[in-house]
Chain A
Amino acid sequence: MKPAEYYQRDRRRQPPALTPDYKTSVARSPRYSMISLQQSVSEITGPVFGHSDIDPIDNDLIKNYAKDQDPVGERIIVHGRVLDENARPVPNTLVEIWQANASGRYRHKKDTYLGALDPNFGGCGRTITDENGYYYFRTIKPGAYPWRNWVNNWRPAHIHVSVFGSGFCQRLITQLYFEGDPLIPLCPIVATIPDPDAIGQLIARLDMNASVPLDCIAYKFDIVLRGRRSTLFENRLAGN
């Protein structure tokens, strides 16, 4: 097998740099076109992580910062798989998340929202996918929070998600939204994504089968990273 490049990004499903309704993007968006690069070893390689890099408790946001009791809020499980565009699992890859607490407040010195801080909630977690690309977190459902854009903008409840894959060109940061949230269609950050189907792909589904009775409700969220040309192309040649 001779691995080749990753598939080109489908820019019709990715937000452009300049999205004036999300005001901060205006001064932070390059104006010139990006230079398209045929991938080299610099793009198809990327950092490798292992279980020694993290601790087992890191994926449990209910416990990983708890002092004397559990944090307040709706207890949830977020789980799913990291896949590539060939629908193959991405194993042993680092998934990191961060989020506001149930009041919509981040444990960040720059967050001055009047929603209360929760002494038992840190708001970040990380894990490594298993051999089938599977991951899970236990956490508290984040609250919506207001932000300065238009006069009265509110972010839908969301969890920020960072994923690596195996090549640095697969690097991705996105956000997870929750099924049924009426704030999703009102949000200028969500609306930076031009394709409604692509927005839907960021909305986690309620998953009753994965919930834990009398404890935690569950949401399913799959993450798809860029796929790679390789064996597919070769198989076709071999089959000729």
Chain B
Amino acid sequence: MTQKLDYLKESSSQTAGPYVHIGLAPGAAGFDIYREELGRDIAGPNARGERIRVEGLVIDGMGSPVKDVLLEAWQANSEGIYAHPEGGGEVEDGFRGWGRVITDFATGEWGFDTVKPGAVKARVKLGSGVSDKVAANSPDWQGRMESHAPMAPHINLWIVARGINIGLNTRMYFEDEKEANATDPVLNLIEWENRRATLLAKRDGERDGVPVYRFEIRLQGDNETVFFDV
């Protein structure tokens, strides 16, 4: 017998099921219960930067739109700061940077309004778990902690639905940020260059003066979206 490590183990995921809307977006399930549903307003009224709308479909391996998906978005503000104690600074009052949206039961279309996020520092002293002392005495560690290029503007997405056993993580980048995308450390991590395009949202005109970006997520099949093990 060897000694035991006294860690706990992460609880296992189970599918969100067909009725996820009841719990996380009850209005869409057809009833009103809470004073306010969470995640309806990602950026809030005081957010600086460019207002945008993001729309899309989630498409299954048969090529059909998935009509019972719930997506959550997590993004930085227009200066690349997340609304979190470790997010890199202060954000505008009312900016949460998080939202959830469900697909239309008839068409599978989803969409949300937000602001375009700014470029995000890749590692902000996150490093590798070494102390300042070690980092200061070791050029290697120092280099590792600070050498990463900033990440291009992106919105982190988490997708759950019936038939999805564990939430899928992906990122939506912006097609019109060519320069920033070219040096993005995450896009560049994808060995198959042709697959990087699956993470690019396309400009799709304007509605009421607000730019619309289109982002199709393909769970499987031709042009399967890149998903990340984070």
Same complex: yes
Closest CB of chain B to A158's CB: distance in Å? 8
- With A41-B87, A192-B165 in contact, do A122 and B228 touch (Cβ < 8 Å)? no
Task: Quote the shortest CB–CB distance from B223 to chain A (angstroms).
Answer: 11
Across the interface, A189 reaches (CB within 8 A) one of B14, B88, B154, B156, namely B14
Whether the pair B134, A237 counts as a contact (CB closer than 8 A) is: yes
Which of B72, B154, B163 meets A171, CB within 8 Å?
B72
Give the CA-CA distance A27 to B64 in the complex, in Å.
Answer: 9
Q: Is the CB of B22 within 8 A of A14?
A: no
Q: How far is the CA of A189 from the CA of B36 in the complex (A)?
A: 32
Question: B22, B120, B165: which contacts A15 (Cβ < 8 A)?
Answer: B165
Does the CB pair A234–B84 fall under 8 Å? no
Task: Tell me the bound Cα distance from A124 to B38 in angstroms.
Answer: 13
Partner of B23, one of A97, A193, A198: A97
- Which residue on chain A has the smallest CB distance to residue B158? A171
Chain B residue contacts of A31, Cβ below 8 A: 61, 220-221, 224
Q: Mark A195-238, 1 if CB is under 8 A from B, else 0.
A: 10111011000000000000000000001111101100110011
A116-138 CB mask vs B (1 if < 8 Å, else 0) is: 00000011101000000000000
Is there a chain B Cβ closer than 8 Å to A79's Cβ? no
Q: How far is the CB of A149 from chain B (nearest CB, A)?
A: 10
Q: Chain B at the A interface: mostly helix, strand, loop or mixed?
A: loop
B203 within 8 A of A: no
Q: Which of B72, B86, B122 contacts A3 (CB 8 A)?
A: B86
Q: Which of B12, B26, B227 interacts with A122 by CB under 8 Å?
A: B26
A→B interface (CB under 8 Å): 2-5, 9-10, 13-17, 19, 22, 24-32, 34-37, 39-49, 53-55, 58, 64-65, 83-87, 94, 96-98, 106-111, 122-124, 126, 160, 162, 166, 168-169, 171-175, 189-190, 192-193, 195, 197-199, 201-202, 223-227, 229-230, 233-234, 237-238
